[in-house]
Amino acid sequence: MSVSTINAGDFIAQHQQENITIIDLRTAAETESECLGNCLSLPVQELDKDSFAKTLTEAGYQQGPIYLLCQSGRRAQMAVDKLQNEADYELVIIEGGLNACKENGIRLQGSGRKVMSLERQVRIAAGFLVVLGVVLGSMLAPAFYALSAFVGAGLMFAGITDTCGMAMMLAAMPWNKASKGKKNCSI
């Protein structure tokens, strides 16, 4: 497997000139909300060697580089890490992800449905659990402070390892799923 990166400006120029394979690694709800046209949708939390191969086969992939797209580039790197030593493809990470593409003027398609980003959902859930632990600890029993400590430890672990268990759980929630039958991002 070979891995390289491309900046958003160069990717946009290539995207406009060639028929390329792009896999959007964001949640199904995020891709339904806004995406590049003709992307394959495969959320990083569902990614493994088999799902990757199946997605490519169903799309009629023949050969050539596979561009990995997410919101900022972090999930694309996670995908590369998951596929390391598992697949023999030429993977290209789009630096800065969809955010960088938008800054460079790429046109997106969208459903008009507003979706809260997964990162924002994690911040809200973590903040809520910390406040809940403090309130319950001061009103009911000091043992509830452990909830705040647990969330803090989880955030530290997420920062150190660049994996977030809370994000993985939130990604599996019904509001982060796309409409039935939605597999590719051509709204």
Q: Tens place of pLDDT for every residue, the chain, 187 residues?
A: 889 999 998 998 887 777 889 999 988 878 878 888 788 999 988 898 999 999 999 999 888 899 999 988 889 998 999 898 777 889 999 999 999 998 988 887 765 667 777 888 899 999 999 999 999 999 999 999 999 999 999 999 988 887 888 988 888 888 877 654 444 554 3
User: What's the pTM?
Assistant: 0.71
What pLDDT shows up at residue 111? 59
70 is catalytic: yes
What pLDDT shows up at residue 178? 61
Asked whether the beta carbons of 87 and 49 are under 8 A apart, the reply is yes
What pLDDT shows up at residue 187? 38
By CB atoms closer than 10 A (0-12, 13-18, 19+), residue 102 is middle
Catalytic choice (39, 70, 101, 164): 70
Asked whether the beta carbons of 70 and 44 are under 8 A apart, the reply is yes
* First-to-final CA distance of the chain: 31
